Chains A and B, each alone.
Chain A
Amino acid sequence: MNMRWFPDEMPVPGVNAETNGWWEAAARHRLVVQRCTACDQTRHPPGPICPRCRSTASQWSDLPGTGSVFTYTVVRQAFIPSLADHLPYIVIAVELDQGGGARMVSNLIDIDPFDVSIGMRVDVVWEDMGPQLAVPRFRPATGAASGSATGSTTGSATGTDAKGAHA
């Protein structure tokens, strides 16, 4: 059964048996990855069966909440209407430390879009969007191992305003 957690202005997750544990951990500001208990293979997004060994047994493995930018884009057009006031925002694929190669899509915040680079070290930061829902985003690493930062940021995923288009 699906539960709607997000306001209508944003896409809402269809939470199901496969993903519920991931969102429950996130609500407690735990960044986790699904790990096969039979062969240790990780997978993201969560799924019902290990793509490597076919085991259905898995666990939610806590991650330090650090990683590096695998690739990124600066989105400058609001295809999602509720994000019109948040342009430009940065979408990253982040390679998660101790994630066994798992990557997740997220946002990079608190940085000028022109200063983003592939390989940049990032730390998770949590945004509370409701009593049962927290969303992990990332910001440039402070240098200290600030794995599971607590407390919520503002709702903005906006970096510093860009100074116009560039090539």
Chain B
Amino acid sequence: MSRGTRNGHRAVIAGVATSDYPRLPEMSEHAVHGQAADRALADAGLTMADVDGFASTGFFPMYATGVAEYLGLHPTYYDETNAGGASFEVLVEHAAYAIECGAAEVVLITYGSIQLSQMGRRLGTGGGGGAGFAPGPAIYDALWGNTLVGSYALAARRHMHQFGTTPEQLASVAVTMRQHAASNPQAQEREPITVEDVVSSRLVADPLHKLDCCVISDGGGACVVTTAERAADLRKTPIHILGAAHSTTHHMNISAMPDLTVTPAAQCGPIAFARAGISPADVDVAQLYDSFTITVVLTVEDLGFCPKGEGGAFVENGGLGLGGRLPTNTDGGGLSACHPGMRGMFLIVEAVRQLRGEGGATQVPDAKIAVAHGTGGMLSTGATLILGQEAP
């Protein structure tokens, strides 16, 4: 990145892949990592023997260490920062810094989850089964029956109250994602839907309906971050990491969120754009975390694609579709294609594919700059990656 090239290296993404998805009842979580890792390395034209850095994250400590052992890696750089849904954007940012300062040359980053097969449920509502011990401050939500979807619903209701955002505007996000998913043969849900379908689907946590919530899937992905010099001889056109930043405003309690309509993207987005030396108007295609429809509305505002409060109008009437104001989630997103729990890696893979011109039926013509933004927790974390076809 522009701010960190101490040793003269520039970080690029040389390989990307998704694993099979969305249903992998025969695979273990590690096997999903392995499949994605092998495919991403093959995509780059590298092998496991080239890898000296590794990053991954999951839901228990020393997670990356376990995956590294499974993959047969003995990395001299590793990272398992967990920022929930924003994790993989953070891991790529960290890897870029490591590359730029010479701490690593080839960093493999993998994600794998069999959440659907393990939990046997489909809605991305974060109930987690419910009963049991609620650690630390989490009880200050759980005791009153609040859940992950409930927290996002509280933010959605507040946004509607302050800015007049409508259920139909939220629904239009889901409709556009489904349109994109129709062109993705792997997508979990491909049947076209209308705004009316969304707002007449079952209310899960008012004002969020079933179709305002992401799917729950099995799946994973991987990417390879290396130096521009190393990538010059590799199989695919390298995609440059132009800028990145991440932020957090609170942990697990939505009551601790300073302003329920302003996410961490409002902090890290402008920093990432400044580091990249571009503005939101320069972005050709976006991959934005869509755990729920409201997540996308808040994110387009906070990243500066439209003023605060105008996200509803920005996303409606195909604003996020091909040919729209900001073509977004061209693979169908977490709302329709795949959401295995922490889908940030999918955002990176799809952004790189778009910049390579590998977007297939949902390719954005002449896409030169992409943004991938992950959102984790209870709107608690945000991480922005700005990627480009050309070196900064």
A residues at B contact (CB < 8 Å): 2, 4, 6, 8-14, 16, 19, 44-47, 70-83, 86, 88-89, 91, 93, 103-107, 113, 118, 135, 137, 157, 165-167
Q: Is the CB of A12 within 8 A of B132?
A: yes
Q: Does B255 contact A (CB under 8 A)?
A: yes
Size of interface on B: residues with Cβ below 8 Å to A:
49
Given A79-B125, A167-B167, answer yes or no on A89-B205 (Cβ-Cβ < 8 Å): no
Residue of A nearest to B208 (CB): A73
Q: Is the CB of B145 within 8 A of A89?
A: yes
Q: Is the CB of B154 within 8 A of A76?
A: no
Given A73-B206, A165-B203, answer yes or no on A45-B145 (Cβ-Cβ < 8 Å): no
Q: Does B155 contact A (CB under 8 A)?
A: yes
Residue of B nearest to A101 (CB): B258
Bound-complex Cα distance A79 to B150 (A): 10
Compute the total of residue contacts between A and B using a CB distance below 8 Å: 147
- Chain B 194-226 interface residues, beta-carbon cutoff 8 Å to A: 199-209
Q: List 24 A-B contacts (CB under 8 A).
A: A9-B131, A11-B133, A11-B138, A13-B134, A14-B135, A14-B136, A16-B136, A44-B255, A45-B253, A70-B158, A70-B260, A71-B155, A73-B153, A74-B205, A74-B206, A75-B147, A75-B206, A76-B206, A77-B205, A80-B127, A91-B146, A93-B154, A93-B254, A104-B255
The residues of B that contact A81 with a CB separation of less than 8 Å are 129-131
Q: Does B59 contact A (CB under 8 A)?
A: no
Q: Is the CB of B255 within 8 A of A91?
A: no
How would residues 162 to 184 of chain B score, 1 for a CB under 8 Å from any chain A CB and 0 otherwise?
Answer: 00000100000000000000000
Q: Which of A11, A70, A71, A74 contacts B139 (CB 8 A)?
A: A11
The residues of A that contact B123 with a CB separation of less than 8 Å are 77
Q: Is the CB of A45 within 8 A of B255?
A: yes
Q: Chain B nearest CB: distance from A33 CB in Å?
A: 12
Bound-complex Cα distance A157 to B123 (A): 24
The residues of B that contact A105 with a CB separation of less than 8 Å are 140-141, 144, 146, 253-255
Bound-complex Cα distance A81 to B141 (A): 16
Q: Chain A nearest CB: distance from B115 CB in Å?
A: 15
